[in-house]
Structure 1
């Protein structure tokens, strides 16, 4: 039984990681209590009103609706990054509810506009630049802020080589390719060559990477809605991969994931996750995209997220 739980836990991450995403960083959601707030022995803030030295009552700041939902939830959140060298090519926020067994994934466009103090170059104002400058913690902080301050508890990181091996361990993943995909970049390291025909087909690891990395063709054409179209394609792939991961290939997949996926989770934590995930079905998975719109500034393409709608999305996820 113990071995099964380990396999199930690893495979649980695999179906998410299979899209090429992957880094999950530990970040405890904690807010410093205001001055003179009483903290009980259990570590919880006492809601009793405090009277200051001037005799005036200090009232605890009212929590937002999202903060209340987070406080009352048992969800475990992950940041998933698909690595292309030192860059984060794919960024996904994943949230698992152990009570409902729901898994919610929010794709974060790598071109999302995100300002950081001290980084003023145009290309440094994209969220995918955070990893190269500030590492995993910087990426975690950026994604948490963009999503309204939600906590991120663990990280999962995978390279394209890892994704290729994982897909092969799944014996391929069936997807619908929406258009002919032809793109060549001999200067990429390693060189990138994408040649896929339109239609439904089962992709092995090599061709799955081509599908996941495609953005535009040699003729300049690509997804009509740009990077959002790429995200939709990745989400389609993710759902198809999940169906196979939860099938009979669990032991093979788990062995491959052990080799190619990096996470900060302890094996004991994975065991707990496995127990909570037993009974999870493909229907428990829902995928979203960060609300916002594409824009061009300073001759660069950005994705401008809608902060209010992003927080509304988090409230929807925490409420389901």
Structure 2
């Protein structure tokens, strides 16, 4: 076992039988891993968007108005986005959704979900969602998906006609943070360990699928700094874990 967001790397690094594209192998491995976490719920489609594409999309759509809850700074204290209601261009939008200084991953995930809902609402109100297929075709180097262009057109039409921001719900897999190691890896890192009984209930409530909770996840004890086997830089980390560490987002 490893962090769920590591699945993409392992698929990219090790490859998959019959899949020549390493990026595609990583995405397929990520999708299959998430499906396993959910107890076998099938995930038929994926869309992978890199940060440069996010920046471009926001700029093409004309920016997003949003009330930034607090100043966003880099690790040296340089101001990137000021607090308050403002129109964010692509670069500031990207700074905000990537920021995790002083906050947990769950806070960052909540911020991302909130601003994405705001962007969806504004783009729909301005009738800009109909341009989604053209935007996709213009940045295929930065967007990977197994959706066909016909499916993308249908989804854009459906979102324009049938969905509003109030009908979008968010669910998070319950769990707790612990620091420790896993077999085969000596360094200690923060992990988000799932509450499996609650995972079972969430899967049943959303998909109507009954799955087994399975054994609880456990970590090896955190390494002590004086441990001679500890590699430089190992031990409990002060850095937050990655966003996708066992967090499920819509």
Q: Normalization by structure 2: what TM-score?
A: 0.66
Partner of 2:170, secondary structure, is strand
Alignment deviations for residues 4-27 of structure 1 (CA, whole Å, 9 cap, x no partner): xxxxxxxxxxxxxxxxxxxxxxxx
Residue 282 (str. 1) matches residue 160 (str. 2): no
2:177 aligned partner: 294
How far 1:254 sits from its partner (Å)? 3.7
Work out the CA distance in 1 between the residues paired with 2:29 and 2:66.
33
The 3 A distance-change label for structure 1 pair 271 and 214 is closer
Match of 2:6 among 97, 121, 129: 129
How far 1:229 sits from its partner (Å)? 0.5
The 3 A distance-change label for structure 1 pair 200 and 131 is same
How far 1:249 sits from its partner (Å)? 2.0
Paired residues, what number? 182
Work out the CA distance in 2 between the residues paired with 1:302 and 1:137.
23
Match of 1:179 among 62, 70, 74: 70
C-alpha contact 1:177 1:200 (8 A) present in aligned 2: yes
Where do residues 1-320 of structure 1 align in structure 2 (5 Å cutoff)?
115=1, 125-134=2-11, 135-184=26-75, 195-216=80-101, 222-223=102-103, 226-247=104-125, 248-260=127-139, 261-273=143-155, 277=159, 278-298=161-181, 299-318=188-207
Work out the CA distance in 1 between the residues paired with 2:179 and 2:106.
15
How far 1:262 sits from its partner (Å)? 2.3
How far 1:240 sits from its partner (Å)? 0.4
Structure having the higher Rg: 1
Partner of 1:127, secondary structure, is coil
C-alpha contact 1:170 1:253 (8 A) present in aligned 2: no
How far 1:144 sits from its partner (Å)? 0.9
The 3 A distance-change label for structure 1 pair 245 and 257 is farther
Alignment deviations for residues 48-77 of structure 1 (CA, whole Å, 9 cap, x no partner): xxxxxxxxxxxxxxxxxxxxxxxxxxxxxx
Q: Which has the higher contact order (CA 8 A, sep 6+)?
A: 1
Work out the CA distance in 2 between the residues paired with 1:287 and 1:169.
26
Work out the CA distance in 1 between the residues paired with 2:86 and 2:164.
23
Work out the CA distance in 2 between the residues paired with 1:149 and 1:280.
27
Q: Normalization by structure 1: what TM-score?
A: 0.52
> Any gaps of 5 or more consecutive residues in structure 1?
1-114, 116-124, 186-192, 217-221
RMSD between aligned residues? 2.2
Partner of 1:200, secondary structure, is strand
Work out the CA distance in 2 between the residues paired with 1:232 and 1:297.
25
C-alpha contact 2:175 2:193 (8 A) present in aligned 1: yes
How far 1:142 sits from its partner (Å)? 1.3
